[in-house]
A = this chain, B = another copy of it.
Amino acid sequence: MKSDWSVSRRAFLTNIARTGGAGAAYAVLDALGATALAIGEAHAYAGPPPMPAGIGKGKRVTIIGAGMAGLTSAYELSKAGFTCTVLEARARPGGRNWTIRGGDLIEQSDGLQKVNWPKAPHLYFNAGPARIPHHHHALLGYCREFNVPLEIMMNDNRAALYQDDAVFGGKPVEAKQVIHDANGHFGELLNKAMSSGGLDKELSKEDRERLREVLAVFGDLKADGRYHGSERAGYTEPPGAALKFGKIRDPLPLSELLKAELWQYKIAFNQNYEQTSTIMQPIGGMDQIPKAFAKRIGHMIRYETVVDEIRKTALGAKVICHNNKGQKTSIESDFIICTMPLSVLRNVPNDLSPNYKKAIAEVRYDTPAKIAFYAPRRFWELDNDIYGGMSWTNREITQILYPSQGIGQRDGVLVGAYSFGVFPEDDMSRVSVSERLKNAIVSGEHMHPGYQRMVRDGVSVAWPNVKYSQGGWASWTAEQKNDIYRTLQEPDGAIYFAGEHLSNLPAWQEGAILSAHYAIEKIATRVRS
């Protein structure tokens, strides 16, 4: 599968660090001459598509999947008078929006896990999405509409750690050290370049003078224009009362910083459009959102109902499905909105047109996996001053995510691994759950000495192994984005498609919601004409 990728791992990681998925796609499309639609300013989101009241009267829509795209479709269409039926293979709404708590069962193709954690409001694990960026207007709009209370999720925690086996003797350093020592070195280098005349052609004398002043602030440089360390990078002896004046850390050497693989994307991760402050989370777990939808449209959802076939009919289309008692049904309707991940849909017998089948078959899904542990003591807060945010490592676990909820409580649930699975070698699902957990503890020990005794009752969700998901998110190549991605934006007869995979916000709930809005708007236009 790697051979599909014309870029090296390193170049790719650098690229996603730079631009994220959406930006990367945009850059390519822009180069190809595609014109972005005029959709106004970032703040101009005006809500779901307007649907004249009663427009859907007498029209039936079958929605496959009660994830965010399916829930959105059913909620909006039913408000407009459509009769909606949502078929959901699982026993819960949300799809990949999945919050796991003590007592839950995690069923995967590689076995069944029982979650042995105590129950408390702050003890949960968002196995899927865990963040709501401040500019995800559609998702935030539903949170407002449904009164889902939100709280701030700390994402960019400068007290969290970077650990890279190749540098600093493999010892973790604080994010504040890496970031501010780098800024200091960069500022000093720019000053030196100016002193040697290396920027005379680039900058006017006035701008060079101003730049020196700005660099003093940017890099916390001394009067000599050089970097001698900064309180921003932290103290070895913190300032206190009386004569405890504090002693700042020695700066990390530039040549060592440059060697760290973590630079290759982790350092800038929190700066990306989708990751930068402010990030929020629903109080009590991400599944508060699908639960709020289900409170309103739950009666339309048939849970534990598995789709066996999708067929075109004279009226529109039909779905053949069976429920958990093995009862088969055929449901015919005017329209279908299929929100299944393409990784699942490609194995469902259907009579979609060949170009649709091709599109559905070809897109690759990333293979992310997460691990969560219960910790009876919040050692990251007590021992490391880490309150929320992520520590990064070049090891397989990629990151440790600390809870933004339950601060100051005795215990907590922390995410002990989140491998994005962009490359086959990142795919933690290749090994058994127990091996995965063992590896995560070994890696965690490099970040937090004593980790193996401080965490317990690990569970792992590897998305390729999760039935009815079979992957994390669609990972379109730039070429596909100009070809088969576009195919699926249009209905095949009465069959429409929606989901994160049909958006430029891959993996994000906002993408799924906006994609649903796009599909229902097309249906509304069709019934009106």
Chain A residues with CB under 8 Å of chain B are 14, 17-20, 22-23, 25-26, 29-30, 34, 36-43, 134-135, 137, 140, 143-144, 147-154, 156-159, 176, 180, 182, 186-187, 189-190, 192-193, 196-199, 201-204, 207, 210-211, 213-214, 216-218, 220-221, 230-232, 234-248, 254-255, 257-259, 263-265, 267-268, 271-273, 276-278, 280, 383-389, 404, 407-408, 486, 489, 502-505, 511, 514-515, 517-518
Q: Which residues of B contact A276 (CB under 8 A)?
A: 158-159, 176, 232
| Complex CA distance for A249 and B25, rounded to whole angstroms | 16
Known: A26-B245, A258-B210, A263-B214. A157 touches B278 (CB 8 A): yes
Q: Which 4 A-B pairs have the closest CB atoms?
A: A198-B198, A193-B193, A23-B231, A241-B514
Q: How far is the CA of A147 from the CA of B408 in the complex (A)?
A: 8
Return A504 CB to nearest CB of chain B, in Å.
4
Binding site secondary structure of chain A:
mixed
Report if A277-B159 is in contact (Cβ < 8 Å); known contacts: A152-B154, A272-B231.
Answer: yes
Docked Cα-Cα span, A157 to B135, in Å, equals: 12
- Output the least CB separation between A245 and chain B (Å): 4
Q: Which of A148, A149, A240, A505 has the most CB of B within 10 A?
A: A240
Q: CB-CB < 8 A to A41: which residues of B?
A: 236-237
Residues of the B chain whose Cβ atoms lie less than 8 Å from the Cβ of A25: 239, 245
A26's closest neighbor in chain B, by CB? Answer: B245
Q: How far is the CB of A151 from chain B (nearest CB, A)?
A: 6
With known contacts A198-B197, A230-B18, A408-B150, A242–B489 Cβ distance under 8 A: yes
Is B38 a contact partner of A232 (Cβ separation < 8 A)? no
**Shortest CB distance A356–B (Å):** 16
Tell me whether B207 and A258 are in contact (CB under 8 A). Answer: yes
Contacts A231-B273, A258-B214; A246 near B278 (Cβ below 8 A): no
| Set B39, B137, B140, B267: member contacting A237, Cβ < 8 A | B39
* Contact assessment for A238 and B268 in the assembled complex, using a CB-CB cutoff below 8 Å: no
Q: Hey, which chain B residues are within 8 Å of A218, CB to CB?
A: 182, 186, 263, 267-268
The verdict on A202 contacting B207 (CB below 8 Å), with A239-B26, A246-B504 known, is: no
Contacts of A156 in B (CB 8 A): 156, 277
Contact B154 A151 (CB under 8 A): no
Contact A189 B182 (CB under 8 A): no
Residue in B153, B236, B246, B504 whose beta carbon sits within 8 Å of that of A239 in the complex: B504
Tell me whether B245 and A389 are in contact (CB under 8 A). Answer: no
Kindly state the separation between the CA atoms of A511 and B186 in the bound complex, as whole angstroms.
Answer: 33
Q: How far is the CA of A404 from the CA of B152 in the complex (A)?
A: 7
| Residues from chain B with Cβ under 8 Å of A211 in the complex | 258
Complex Cα gap A237–B238 (Å): 45
The answer for the CA separation of A199 and B278 in the assembled complex, in Å, is 37
Q: State in angstroms the CA–CA spacing of A388 and B151 once bound together.
A: 10
CA distance A218 to B258 in the complex (A): 11
- Contact A407–B280 (Cβ < 8 Å): yes
- Residues on B with beta carbons closer than 8 Å to the beta carbon of A408: 140, 143-144, 147-150
Q: Within the complex, which residue of B43, B157, B239, B514 is in contact with A277, where a contact is CB–CB below 8 Å?
A: B157
Q: How far is the CB of A303 from chain B (nearest CB, A)?
A: 26
Are the C-beta atoms of B389 and A246 separated by less than 8 Å?
Answer: no
Q: Write out the residue numbers on chain B whose beta carbons fall within 8 Å of the beta carbon of A243.
A: 34, 36-37, 486, 489
**Minimum C-beta distance from A42 to chain B (A):** 5
Smallest CB separation, A9 vs chain B (Å): 13
* Alpha-carbon distance A239/B153, docked complex (angstroms): 23
Decide: A504 near B386, CB < 8 A? Known: A180-B271, A258-B211.
Answer: no
Q: Given A246-B22, A247-B36, A248-B23, check contact A152 B150 (CB 8 Å).
A: no
- Determine the distance from Cα of A143 to Cα of B407 in the docked complex, in whole angstroms: 11
Does the CB pair A217–B14 fall under 8 Å?
A: yes
User: CA A204 – CA B135 in complex, angstroms?
Assistant: 43
Whether the pair B19, A230 counts as a contact (CB closer than 8 A) is: yes
| Partner pick for A387 among B17, B42, B255, B280, CB 8 A cutoff | B280
Q: Are B407 and A152 in contact (CB under 8 A)?
A: yes
Measured CA separation A21–B17 after assembly (Å): 35
In angstroms, Cα B238 to Cα A38, docked, is 10
**B144 touching A254, Cβ below 8 Å:** no
Residues of B within 8 A of A196 (CB): 198, 201
